[in-house]
Amino acid sequence: MWLPLGLVLLAAEALAVKRHDFKTCDQSGFCKRGRALASRAKEAASTWKSPYSVDPSSVAISAQKSTFTASVLSSLYPEIKFELDVRAHADGTFRVRMDEVDGLRKRYDETSKWALVREPTLSETITWKQTKKEIKAVNTKSGVELKVQFEPLRVALLRNGKEEVVINGKGLLHMEHFRLKDEEPTPPVEGQAQDDSQTVLQPPVNPTAWFEGEQAAVWDETFGGQTDTKPRGPQSLSLDINFPTHGHIYGIPEHATRLDLPTTTGENAKYSDPYRLYNLDVFEYEADSEMALYGAVPLVHAHGVHSTVGVFNAIGSETWVDVGHPSTESTETQWISESGILDVFLLPGPTPEDVFRQYARLTGTPVMPRHFALAYHQCRWNYISSSDVREVQSRFDADDIPFDVLWLDIEYAPNHKYFIWNEKTFPDPVPMFNDVAAYGRKMVVIIDPHLKKDNDYPVYKSASEKGLLVKPSSGQGEYDGWCWPGSSAWVDYFNLASWDWWQGLFKVDGNNGDWHWKDSTTDVFIWNDMNEPSVFNGPEITMPKTNLHFDGWEHRDVHNINGMLFQNATSQAVKYRTDPPQRPFVLSRAFFAGSQRFGAVWTGDNLGTWEHMAIGVPMVLSNGIAGITFSGADVGGFFGNPDIEMLVRWYQVGAFAPFFRAHAHIDTKRREPFLLSEPHKSMVRDIIRLRYSLLPVWYTAFRYSSVSGVPVLRPQYTVFPNDPKGFSLDEQYFIGNSGLLVKPVTAPGVTQTTVYLAEAQPYYDYFTGHIYRGKRSGVEVTVPAALHEIPLLIRGGSIVPTRERPRRSSALMKKDPFTLRIALDAAEEASGDLYLDDGDSYLYEAGELVWRRFNAAKSGKSTFKITSEDLVAINNGQNVVDGAIVPVSGPNAFKESVSAVRVEKIVVYGLKAKPSKITLANGGEVEWDFVAGTSAKSGEGVASALTMRDPAVRITEDWSIEITL
Ligand code: NOJ
């Protein structure tokens, strides 16, 4: 179609991020200085030597022998002292900390306070051994060793004698000490090098001189017309962390990029800037970019065939991460942060699962969600009135399309005063909630962190009177910024007094003297948006770094942590609305390390384009690598009006994401599933119903994740860590340990696609039972993928429990019977788990749950047995993280409540012959039929299928069925 040029430009602009609103590394003083340090080191090559060294005489090993401290000196600034603190933990992880001692100011050292769930237990078996040149500790059990070289300071994690992680190996460590503006540090004297053959970092007259003519702002820094006065001066931290034997690196979300992180340095760099970790509201973000987005988790997995290791750099200030691959088998990273101490956790693996557990032991396991939260969510900006809400609900019901949650965006609130209802459009909030709840459904209402500055707004007034608001740099009064309501203030959640106050607001009944949300019910859940925080007139659309939080910390120090505290406070507030507490559901846009403990996140304002649909998949996988497993992308795309093919595909993507929500911008056309015409309406209905039928799989996967830290979506490298062909795959993934392997289609015009199979096993088409045969050396198979088809395979060896009766909402499925799909592997065996609990309360922590293991195995030469046994776990402290399975004794009212629930159908795929007899151990009869086909042992084509109807076995009981061939 021909368009006038003006319109073309307009259209192009409308779909482009405003890059100039956000800094590049070059425009950020500390990042530019950090990168310049790396280029100087590169130019100097082998003559470069880090100025930092450990004073061997200062090494003090603790009485328990698992930790030591030592003084660190910099030859550049001999008068400045640093302390190194290294700890060996019982689980094999290590912590390396370094801080300035008696500096002009205190560096921010509280990131771990907010990110960690507990101080890790110290090792009782490891001991530090010191020589003249180094100090090291060896874990004889795992073969892992941590070695700290004194001169120059260099920290290495070795496995079986080989270095796997090296800190400061390239000498890019630089902790800019605090100084006064008119007192630039005294330059060290020329020739201070202890070893004349080395070019010691030459003394700067002032730090800018390091960069040979490059002008990097050190003190005041102006960007986009706003000046960061840096009243406390520069205090950045640069650090190189290298992985000499790992060629792949994953993590550091949130970026719109591939799972296997592309390079940012070196000749073949894909991006010219480092990955930026700085929570930002990036309008119309690019689908392929290193730019910062809404969340930040400073965690990486480095992976190779021999092992996986993790590094968690616990820092909450703005951080840039350069990634390079000097060879296909190695990775180099440089982390440049604006403020804070060095606090790095080394997670030795050696498998991806081990790293997940090690990280979860530090920052917590993902929350066990409310059951409804895994079902389908319908959102848009905005459902405009309570009658609109009722109408949407009835249209879904009229078309038999299930949904669980209806969302209200900001327009319910007059002048965007959250909690308050627009009386004209929402005159009856409580009856509205109750009408929705009548079908077992819930509503989610948005509560943003900015409060309209208006003394008639009780929430603002109360926060202001109590002194709970973030302060400007002067420390006086309240910071004033611009957001949806106009002039706004922000609650300071670093002040724990805010948490109590916030909890009080969410009480739906009672009279605690203060204002509270009476026009609400306990069926209402919360959406925390704009919590980077987004400030329309702030630098880079966020808060000035000079703003002050509790205890006088600058916003600069805590920026990336800020949004997590808001979600944390809200989830506690929702949890304690009732007595006993109920599991909360809170969606957040901003996140940090540890956010997995508080709820779900989504990938923000994506565009309705194929590129955005496609990149959403690795983005969600990458969040999961960093612990944030409960995540998803706006189905349909937030901006724009997707065509019908795109919309159907987007539902397929969403149905296979942990968080499944359709959402759309206020300017888009309505696109709820009931508005679609045939055949697309039925396609979308089928996709949503498929999600509902698979809810037992999702819930079981979440349970496993909540005890182990292993993500719900498992990319190929985590399942087949020794198969290099899978290390960069990020379009297909497994769901928990269910054996379901999905590859959503994210491109137009597709009728078939390929799926990579890494092992010599049969994989079964979920819908047709067609067997695709994998190979030991890996093979790509072609699977049908027309618009109504989803490439979904069952890995041979799996038993998949489903509930297949279509209902209006998931609450109505609680007593529904189960179907078991048994997909035999090449050894003609299979197993699978099913986890159930009441979906709402915390009683599962006391053992009120059902956790079954199904097995199918040969019991004789020509007999098979299918069995169901108890596999119960309780959630108590450490065991949760270690995934310990502990039998429960005592009352289990939940189990009683579902004791009548049956298995209504069992399908066994891949038997090699028709059974001659099927017997139930309880003596019951079973009706069955057998359709001959390909066996699990060999061949491709439609698998043989044995279908048993109503075998009269119950889900909570032990049972067995014997099949004689
Ligand atoms: C920005 C969010 O990302 C979007 O999802 C929401 O609809 C708007 N804010 C309005 O609240």
- 222-235 per-position pLDDT tens digit: 999 999 999 999 99
Asked if pLDDT for residue 686 goes beyond 80, the answer is yes
Q: Which is the closest atom of ligand 1 to the Cα of 446?
A: 11
Q: What angle do CA 795, 796, 802 make, to 5 degrees?
A: 65
The stretch 241-259 carries a mean pLDDT of 98
Q: Which is the closest atom of ligand 1 to the Cα of 381?
A: 7
Residue type, 250: Y
Q: Which is the closest atom of ligand 1 to the Cα of 634?
A: 5
CA 604 to ligand 1 centroid distance, Å? 8
Residue 762 is inside which H or E element, if any? strand 762-765
Which residue, of 363, 393, 415, is where some domain finishes?
363
Confirm whether 331 is domain-assigned.
yes
For the stretch 634-662, pLDDT in tens is 999 999 999 999 999 999 999 999 999 99
Q: Which is the closest atom of ligand 1 to the Cα of 663?
A: 5
Residue type, 239: L
DSSP output for 173-223: -EEPPP--TT-PPPPPPTT--SSTTSEE-PPPSSGGGGGTT----SSSEEE
Q: Kindly report the protein residue whose alpha carbon is nearest to atom 4 of ligand 1.
A: 605
Please choose from 605, 635, 659, 666 the residue to mutate so as to test ligand 1's pocket, defined by most ligand atoms within 8 A of CB: 605
Asked if pLDDT for residue 819 goes beyond 60, the answer is yes
Q: Kindly report the protein residue whose alpha carbon is nearest to atom 7 of ligand 1.
A: 381
Phi/psi region, residue 477 (left: phi>0; alpha: psi -120 to 50; beta: rest), is left
Contact 333, 325 (CB under 8 A): no
**CATH value at residue 63:** 2.60.40.1760
**CATH value at residue 827:** 2.60.40.1180
Which percentage of the chain shows pLDDT scores above 90? 87
Contact 530, 483 (CB under 8 A): yes
Which residue, of 336, 363, 390, is where some domain finishes?
363
Asked if pLDDT for residue 890 goes beyond 70, the answer is no
Asked if pLDDT for residue 881 goes beyond 50, the answer is no
Asked if pLDDT for residue 13 goes beyond 80, the answer is no
For the stretch 373-425, pLDDT in tens is 999 999 999 999 999 999 999 999 999 999 999 999 999 999 999 999 999 99
Confirm whether 829 is domain-assigned.
yes
Burial of 754 per CB tally in 10 Å (0-12, 13-18, 19+): middle
- Given pLDDT bands bounded at 50, 70 and 90, which one contains residue 219? confident
What pLDDT was estimated at residue 939? 94
What token pair was written down for 434?
């109750």
What pLDDT was estimated at residue 889? 55
Confirm whether 544 is domain-assigned.
no
For the stretch 435-478, pLDDT in tens is 999 999 999 999 999 999 999 999 999 999 999 999 999 999 99
HEC assignment per residue over 603-646: CCCCECCHHHHHHHHHHHHHHHHCCCCCEECCECCCECCCCHHH
Confirm whether 409 is domain-assigned.
no
For the stretch 688-738, pLDDT in tens is 999 999 999 999 999 999 988 999 999 999 999 999 999 999 999 999 999
**pTM exceeds 0.75 for this model:** yes
What pLDDT was estimated at residue 846? 81
The overall average pLDDT reported for the chain is 92
CA 617 to ligand 1 centroid distance, Å? 20
CA 448 to ligand 1 centroid distance, Å? 10
Distances (CA, A) of 869 to 279, 855, 963: 46, 8, 18
Residue 875: give the domain boundaries.
814-965
Cα separation, 955 vs 957, whole angstroms: 6
CA 529 to ligand 1 centroid distance, Å? 7
Which residue, of 318, 344, 363, is where some domain finishes?
363
Catalytic residues: 529, 532, 605
Total domain count, the chain: 2
- Given pLDDT bands bounded at 50, 70 and 90, which one contains residue 27? very high
Please choose from 293, 530, 601, 659 the residue to mutate so as to test ligand 1's pocket, defined by most ligand atoms within 8 A of CB: 530
Confirm whether 666 is domain-assigned.
no
Confirm whether 884 is domain-assigned.
yes
The stretch 287-306 carries a mean pLDDT of 98
Distances (CA, A) of 845 to 126, 355, 814, 834, 841: 33, 25, 19, 17, 9
For the stretch 801-815, pLDDT in tens is 999 999 999 999 999
Phi/psi region, residue 780 (left: phi>0; alpha: psi -120 to 50; beta: rest), is beta
Question: Ligand 1: which residues within 6 Å by Cβ?
Answer: 381, 409-410, 446, 529, 589, 604-605, 638, 663
Confirm whether 16 is domain-assigned.
no
CA 527 to ligand 1 centroid distance, Å? 10
For the stretch 533-554, pLDDT in tens is 999 999 999 999 999 999 999 9
Confirm whether 139 is domain-assigned.
yes
Asked if pLDDT for residue 613 goes beyond 90, the answer is yes
